[in-house]
Amino acid sequence: MKAGAESLHEKRRKSDATLTVAAASGDMAAKRLLVDRLLSSVRTTLHYLAPGDRDADDLVQSAMIEILRSVGSFRGAGNLELWACRVAIRTAMHYLRNRRSRHRLLPEAPPLEPIDTETPEASFERLRLRRRIKAVLERMPIEQRTALVLRFVHGLGPEEIADVMECPLNTARERLRVGRKRFLRFSMRDAALREWAERND
């Protein structure tokens, strides 16, 4: 069973390496496949990271352009989604730091289309919860916000978060610890938010 799992992992690794090499060489079909595969995850991450930023879609586009531009640096040794997440977060953090130095982020998140594919019945409540999550995340420093999004939304552990954020493991753990404490304090009177955080931790 273990050998079979390793075989599937190896096939996926080789497939990712083939796809990224083709995309890096200018193959338009490979680039489209790469965008199709990564766009949803990148969009989810960046909309949570920039909850009050009305340029969120431009930020997603910038991140995807950077992913395609630097795809040749992916060597196939790791996880393609985590590599893309690292590039997207680096792009976002640079943008948000620069923006924060010019103006304060807007206090209210703009209406966004649902990121997930879901039934119309579930869409309204899910979108309301997402907006409340964003409103809380917006009150946090960028580094803590990023760590929480990687943990709560993507389910990454501290080691993976440290890898994506390119920081020491202890730093990632501290950002998670302090960020989670702040999230729960900011959402003290919102039972749904607290339940969401505890369910996804």
Per-residue pLDDT for 100 more than 90?
Answer: no
Taking the complete model, does pTM exceed 0.85, yes or no? no
Ordered structural domains, the chain, with CATH: 1-111 (1.10.1740.10), 113-201 (1.10.10.10)
Alpha-carbon distance 67 to 87, whole Å? 6
* Cβ-Cβ contacts under 8 Å for 169 (sequence gap 6 or more): 158, 159, 162
More confident residue, 200 or 21: 21
Compute the radius of gyration of the chain from its Cα atoms. Answer: 18
119, two tokens: 């039934």
* Cβ-Cβ contacts under 8 Å for 146 (sequence gap 6 or more): 49, 89, 92, 93, 165, 175
b/e per residue 51-71 (b: at least 16 CB within 10 A) = bbbeebeebbebbbebbbeeb
Per-residue pLDDT for 113 more than 50?
Answer: no
185, two tokens: 């304090």
Residue corresponding to tokens 């996880």: 79
What are residue 192's phi and psi, to 5 degrees? -65, -40
Instruction: Please name which of 86, 93, 94 lies closest in space to residue 160, comparing C-alpha atoms.
Output: 86
Query: What's the average model confidence in pLDDT over 84-108?
Result: 69
SS3 (DSSP) at 118: coil
Confidence grade of residue 22 (pLDDT, cut at 50, 70, 90): very high
pLDDT one-digit tens code per residue, 144-189: 999 999 998 888 999 999 988 989 999 999 999 999 999 988 888 8
Pure H helices in the chain: 2-24, 28-49, 56-69, 80-102, 120-137, 142-148, 158-165, 169-186, 191-200
